[in-house]
Amino acid sequence: MGLFNKRTRQEPAQPRAAKPKRGGLFGGGKKNSANHAGAHYSMAKRPTFGQWLKFTWLDILTMAAMGAIGLGVYMAHPAPTRSFAVQFSDGEVVHPDFAYPLRKEIIPIVAAALLAAFIPIIVILICQIRVRSFWDVNNGVIGLLYSLITAAVFQVFVKWLIGGLRPHFLNVCKPDVTRASNAPGVKGAGYNGAGFTGIYYTSEICTGDPKEINDSLESMPSGHTTAAFAGFVYLYLYLNAKLKVFSNYHPAMWKLVVIYAPILGACLIGGALTIDEYHNWYDVFAGAVIGTVMAFSAYRMVYASIWDFRFNHIPLNRGTPFPYTGGAELAHAMFTRKAGWGGGSVGAHGSDKHIGGEGHGLHNNGTATDGAYNNGTYGNDAGMSHSRKPVGHGVGAGHDAGHVPARHADDMV
């Protein structure tokens, strides 16, 4: 078997769909047949490239279109005419928070985007050492691209239509107030030399590099931070699901460190932008919010849950609704092997297996909620269940059969 087509005992082979009958006058037999074939596929085996393309072509087309739109908006000149103050009459700078020097970026935008894309992809591939599923890689990477692309397009529209001044704006603008519209013999925008005491101007008075000026007018939100949080928060959700950190057992501390390492990376990328004076703190915060929202949305589109530890590691099928019961396809698709997860006993929803491994109780069709207290045991048909008699149950020894003697508090398991 290949790396990505492992089939476990818990995954029954999917029955071949019956061939649909040809429609009548308005049936469209060929079209209906194609739709039927494309809507159902088994995630227990790897498809051919043609089959994969048939399932994914619309996403590829949509991502290409969104990328083209985002690039076009990114290259466009800023939409708003933004006013800014320069100096008071005595020469004092009105807003020194926009007068920082132009410095070299600690982390360029291209590097931030590549880190946010390739590090999650590398981690997803490393996880396949144990997961061994083509469809987990497919859903993981496709979901990551959902997050990165939608976040990028969202933030470039906000930059273009709203924007704001970067901390080094006045340095790259190099304003010359003699070019204002209210200067003798100069024609320009009517907002120059405007506002209370006439201290506000627009970009017509700038004498610096036009490209740098346009860039410094589009500060909010931070593109670096948006990309970092879109990629690394998505990776955080993926690792949490595969390692079962917030689950039904006590995990090792290294797992907590591993899942929050991407969040630390995203915070460092965003925070660096306030050190090199490329962004204000609120630009970074806005980018973090946008990236996080897109990461959560994208992950939930391709996996069965975000926080429900029973299902959040299972990739979703495009054409078949997820049952949220035991015996689901790819229920084994996780990295951890602790407490019965990922092995022959598939954690909280394996096919008729114990939660937490063989012989540890909570056995009732594999679901965590099914292991509720029932006739004094967790799981009627568990081979090794433990008595959980409540304190004071029964009326004491010597009574009729079927009654349980009263118990003291220290007798309760």
The reported pTM is: 0.75
More confident residue, 413 or 185: 185
Q: pLDDT confidence of 39, banded at 50, 70, 90?
A: low
pLDDT digits (tens, 9 = 90+) for 56-104: 999 999 999 999 999 999 888 888 778 888 888 777 888 888 999 999 9
Amino acid 410: pLDDT: 52
Over residues 361-376, the mean pLDDT reads 39
pLDDT digits (tens, 9 = 90+) for 6-31: 444 444 445 554 454 444 433 444 44
Cβ atoms of 274 and 280 closer than 8 Å: yes
Over residues 116-120, the mean pLDDT reads 96
pLDDT digits (tens, 9 = 90+) for 234-269: 999 999 999 999 999 999 999 999 999 999 999 999
Cα–Cα nearest to 138, from 227, 49, 64, 226: 49
Over residues 195-206, the mean pLDDT reads 83
Q: Where are the domains of the chain?
A: 81-302
Over residues 129-147, the mean pLDDT reads 94
pLDDT digits (tens, 9 = 90+) for 159-174: 999 989 999 999 999 9
pLDDT digits (tens, 9 = 90+) for 274-298: 999 999 999 999 999 999 999 999 9
